[in-house]
Amino acid sequence: MTDRAAVLAVLDAVTDPRSGQGLATAGLVQGLVVADGRAGFVMEVPARETALYAPVRDAAEAALKAMPGMERVSVVLTAEAVTAAPRRTAGLSKAATDQGRPKAPVPTERPGHVKRVLAVASGKGGVGKSTVSVNLAAALAARGLSVGVLDADVYGPSLPTMLGVSGQPAYEDGAMVPHVAHGLKAMSVGLLTKAEDAMIWRGPMASQAINQMLTQTRWGTAEAPLDVLVIDLPPGTGDVQLTLIQKTPLDGAVIVSTPQEVALADARRAHTLFEKVGVPTLGLIENMSGEVFGTGGAEAEAARLGAPYLGDLPLDGALRRAGDAGKPLVADEPEGDVARRFDAIAARVAAVLGL
Ligand SMILES: Nc1ncnc2c1ncn2[C@@H]1O[C@H](COP(=O)(O)OP(=O)(O)OP(=O)(O)O)[C@@H](O)[C@H]1O
């Protein structure tokens, strides 16, 4: 068993290079989660000091991993936005400050040099949201647009696998430099921490990490802005998703569903969530359409919701294998049936977004 006090003591034995104090005493342990052999926290430092603190993060992780019974450890180093509120608020109890910074709202900032931000959502997990995100991104790129993909699925980041990218992004002048794969700029919470560790994050930490990836990544430059950033949202319609879409400046959303009624009911909830925050649903996509799960459910649902229907994608082994192999099928077989379907969806999305 690992308890909180023991974890804080271990972290206090790691020195903050700026203040010379232990990390906990220096206030660098935020949003600490300790549960059943797992521990994680966020270490937020000024953007220009992320390089200085990278070894400190590694030392904190190593120290936690060395604790008896500790199985999973995640220390996320995030760069403090220049405009962010002061890190600690005087007068709050230790217990309250330990909850991290969620009480100070994460600023809604548009990412720099990004023309449009598109969310890909699903009410339900496992319906193919990530598959649609990367292939839709690839289809938009094939139309000559510059495209980025942000994997915000903190509960199961799959972008590194689906695009075949790995390794922490480089930092340059306080910004993260996205990996480029298959012509797409890519950033994933899975590149910043181990995929399984993100599972222990609570909503506010997830929001904060996503905001960071959104605004602190060099998606585009003044000379070469990014046309569209595709965000793969975490599945579901709970508080985490609501917070995220409230705090992310979205120009529109597409909702992925399978044809079954259970998935459609969740797609409906996702649509309602976007309506609530004033983000237009650009349309529903039916994935895994065909003999096994049936067909036409999403189109009928779109009609009921008064939302556009963008098209269907078949249940297709090649689509799955390509994803597992780190190559979006659209990029791998640009002349195939699946690529044609994605191209039709991309054309509609681009038109609605004015791209
Ligand atoms: N049309 C399809 N045909 C065959 N397999 C598919 C199709 N769409 C997705 N898959 C496969 O289904 C699995 C789940 O897909 P994916 O990871 O894209 O879903 P998701 O909705 O993002 O899941 P999660 O909610 O867990 O993040 C993957 O193995 C993927 O390759």
Sheet strand arrangement including 252-257: 179-181, 184-188, 147-151, 226-232, 114-121, 252-257, 281-289, 309-314
Q: Whose CA is nearest to atom 31 of ligand 1?
A: 320
CA neighbor of 78 nearest in space, from 189, 229, 221, 234: 189
Residue 90 has a pLDDT of 31
Ligand 1 proximity of 130 Cβ (cutoff 6 Å): yes
Ligand 1 proximity of 158 Cβ (cutoff 6 Å): yes
Whether residue 101 has pLDDT greater than 50? no
Q: Over the chain, what is the mean pLDDT?
A: 84
Residue 237 has a pLDDT of 85
Of ligand 1's listed atoms, the one at least distance from the Cα of 313 is 1
Q: What is the ipTM of this complex?
A: 0.98
> Are 80 and 47 contacting, i.e. CB atoms less than 8 angstroms apart?
yes
> Are 53 and 47 contacting, i.e. CB atoms less than 8 angstroms apart?
no
User: Residue range 262-279: average pLDDT?
Assistant: 90
Higher pLDDT, 6 or 35: 6
Q: Whose CA is nearest to atom 28 of ligand 1?
A: 320
Residue 203 has a pLDDT of 63
Ligand 1 proximity of 320 Cβ (cutoff 6 Å): yes
Whether residue 133 has pLDDT greater than 70? yes
In terms of residues, how long is the chain? 355
Which tens digits make up the pLDDT trace of 322-333?
A: 999 999 999 999
CA of 159 to the centre of ligand 1 (A): 11
Whether residue 84 has pLDDT greater than 70? no
Of ligand 1's listed atoms, the one at least distance from the Cα of 288 is 1
Q: Is 125 annotated as a binding residue?
A: yes
CA neighbor of 192 nearest in space, from 231, 166, 174, 216: 166
Cβ-proximal residues to 62 (8 Å cutoff; 6+ apart), any chain: none
> Are 47 and 174 contacting, i.e. CB atoms less than 8 angstroms apart?
yes
Of ligand 1's listed atoms, the one at least distance from the Cα of 316 is 3
The residue whose two tokens read 């319906």 is 127
Q: d(Cα 80, Cα 262) in Å, to the nearest integer?
A: 41
Which tens digits make up the pLDDT trace of 213-264?
A: 898 899 999 999 999 999 999 888 887 788 888 888 899 999 999 888 888 9
Ligand 1 proximity of 267 Cβ (cutoff 6 Å): no
Residue 283 has a pLDDT of 95
Of ligand 1's listed atoms, the one at least distance from the Cα of 317 is 4
Ligand 1 proximity of 259 Cβ (cutoff 6 Å): no
Ligand 1 proximity of 323 Cβ (cutoff 6 Å): yes
Residue 106 has a pLDDT of 43
Cβ-proximal residues to 165 (8 Å cutoff; 6+ apart), any chain: 159, 179, 181, 186, 188, 191, 326
Ligand 1 proximity of 266 Cβ (cutoff 6 Å): no
Ligand 1 proximity of 122 Cβ (cutoff 6 Å): yes
Ligand 1 proximity of 288 Cβ (cutoff 6 Å): yes
Ligand 1 proximity of 117 Cβ (cutoff 6 Å): no
Q: d(Cα 30, Cα 42) in Å, to the nearest integer?
A: 5
CA of 185 to the centre of ligand 1 (A): 21
What domains appear along the chain, each with residue ranges and CATH number?
Answer: 4-98 (3.30.300.130), 114-352 (3.40.50.300)
Q: What are phi and psi of 51, to 5 degrees?
A: -65, -40
Q: Whose CA is nearest to atom 30 of ligand 1?
A: 320
Q: How far does Cα 241 stand from its chain's mean position?
A: 11
Amino acid making up residue 51: A
Of ligand 1's listed atoms, the one at least distance from the Cα of 124 is 25
Q: How far is CA 152 from CA 11, 52, 194, 207, 300, in A?
A: 28, 26, 14, 9, 29
Q: Is 123 annotated as a binding residue?
A: yes
CA of 199 to the centre of ligand 1 (A): 18
Ligand 1 pocket test: which of 120, 127, 131, 316 has the largest number of ligand atoms within 8 Å of its C-beta? 131
What radius of gyration, in Å, describes the C-alpha atoms of the chain? 21
CA of 288 to the centre of ligand 1 (A): 9
Residue 284 has a pLDDT of 96
Amino acid making up residue 87: R
CA 207, 196, 15, 32 torsion-angle sign? positive
Whether residue 96 has pLDDT greater than 80? no
Q: Is 115 annotated as a binding residue?
A: no
User: Residue range 87-102: average pLDDT?
Assistant: 35
